[in-house]
Structure 1
């Protein structure tokens, strides 16, 4: 595959999975093929027990992702059935990202629009640069988002801000992104990559089972009431208490040492 062709790229760097959305000619707009690749890559990352953190970014510094590739809509979303199949492909990718048990970080340079916001919201943590612009222009295209997407957006930014984002279809700046909670923190554009490296170094040191338990509980909190499974959250917390990592951490702290976690 040529680097000019739209694609999603995975590079494993020690315990870090680096996922890049690459379609720079269209500001990293996501094609249907890229959604399918992202699903496969997220599943592969989730299955790799050596990994501790995943980072998703866009190719270059102009955009994280400027949305879905609208040039495909005439063929792939012409009918209701086609639109439903397209939405299902997107949801599979988002679910695959959400199914990763360890922290997933979105590194957001520049534009993060439409489908780009959906990918960023599927991550656990989002860090942006001071030039970022985010929004969901669905109301300018006659597109309706599914309840799953809107629930995730509202859970992160609040219902009033979600209504503003969805109904105005405007692009908002970095200050708004940080104020409403869409991003955890903003860094200068030329410092974002280094800042994210600092954050993932911290995340990679911590106990994988504890992080997995936190993600399991947060996932159930975010789920619709009739879809919650609190048993999974309780079992994940109990697994931490019974783990070798927990015993090793107690011994390390007693000896004023830093524990090393293996996820067992």
Structure 2
């Protein structure tokens, strides 16, 4: 099978798989290029309430395919930044499920997700200093926001790999799971995400990502979505809420729910 990004949608969760096992799931130029339109399609899919990014087999992503850097380093970095920004801008919750190596471009993609769960034994590294590459400003800022300036400098200056214990301690990952338990935990957690308010999630993601000038917009969305009324009613009636419906009983998900 050619290097590519595979995807499926199951139980309201889209799973995108980096598939290039011959090179530890390194990203080719074509793979970088294909990610933004794939994310656009998944964002527009009313079935999708959350997205998981992972790698084929026992490796998340070993970075960019080095041959693409040799041919056109500027273009390769441009494509990587566009893919990273598209992932960061995905309007629904995103989670990177990490096994094995998460290095270079792989770490760039994982950092662009909202959350990162890792299997014990995974290794993380930001390695442009090994190749003489200037790491993009957007990716650097995102890394600093996750781990702080000191750890970001350690990773960027040295290119050394860190284990899951240090990644968890510094905030690079949110949970570390024992071997064999990552898929179960990811499925359990994303199932929780899909039954929470998409309105709350979309607004919180925008605010957390630095967009804080749209309070009025989200207040209007809240009035139109019915999520608040449904949440309060469900609490008082001691039942599970059914979020994502307009007060008139419109379809679930999509713009009607404030996404």
Instruction: Judge same fold: TM > 0.5, yes or no.
Output: yes
Secondary structure of the residue aligned to 2:37 is: helix
1:95 pairs with 2:85: yes
Q: What does residue range 170-189 of structure 1 map to in structure 2 within 5 Å?
A: 170-189=160-179
The alpha carbon displacement at 1:189 in A equals 2.1
* 1:43 and 2:65 aligned: no
Which deviations, in whole Å up to 9, do the C-alpha atoms of 1:123-172 show, x marking residues without a partner?
00100011100011111110011211100000000100000000011011
Q: How does 1:105-116 map to 2 (within 5 A)?
A: 105-116=95-106
Shift of 1:238: 4.4
Distance apart, 1:42 and its partner CA: 1.0
Secondary structure, aligned partner of 2:60: strand
Query: Are 2:70 and 1:74 aligned?
Result: yes
- State which of 2, 11, 22 in structure 1 corresponds to 2:8: 11
Query: Please, which of 174, 181, 187 is the counterpart of residue 191 of structure 1?
Result: 181
State the SS of the aligned residue for 2:181: helix
- Whether the aligned pair in 1 keeps the contact of 2:123 and 2:163 (CA below 8 Å) is yes
The residue aligned with 2:249 is none
Question: Given the alignment of the two structures, is residue 168 of structure 1 paired with residue 150 of structure 2, yes or no?
Answer: no
Partner of 1:32: 29
- Relative distance call for 1:45 and 1:233 in structure 2 (3 A) is farther
| Structure 2, unaligned runs of 5 or more | 245-252
TM-score of the aligned structures, taking structure 2 as reference length? 0.91
Please say if 1:230 is aligned against 2:245. Answer: no
Give the root-mean-square deviation of aligned CA atoms: 1.3
TM-score by length of 1: 0.89
Shift in Å, 1:233:
4.9
Q: What's the CA shift string for 1:58-91, capped at 9, x where partnerless?
A: 0012x100010002222122xxxxx1x3222112
Among residues 56, 59, 65, which one is paired with 1:59 in the alignment? 56
1:210 aligns with 2:192: no
Query: Counterparts of 2:202 and 2:68 in 1: how far apart (Å)?
Result: 37
Counterpart of 1:255 (choices 237, 243, 248) is 237
* Separation in structure 1 between the aligned mates of residue 159 and residue 110 of structure 2, nearest angstrom: 17
C-alpha deviation, 1:235, in angstroms: 1.8
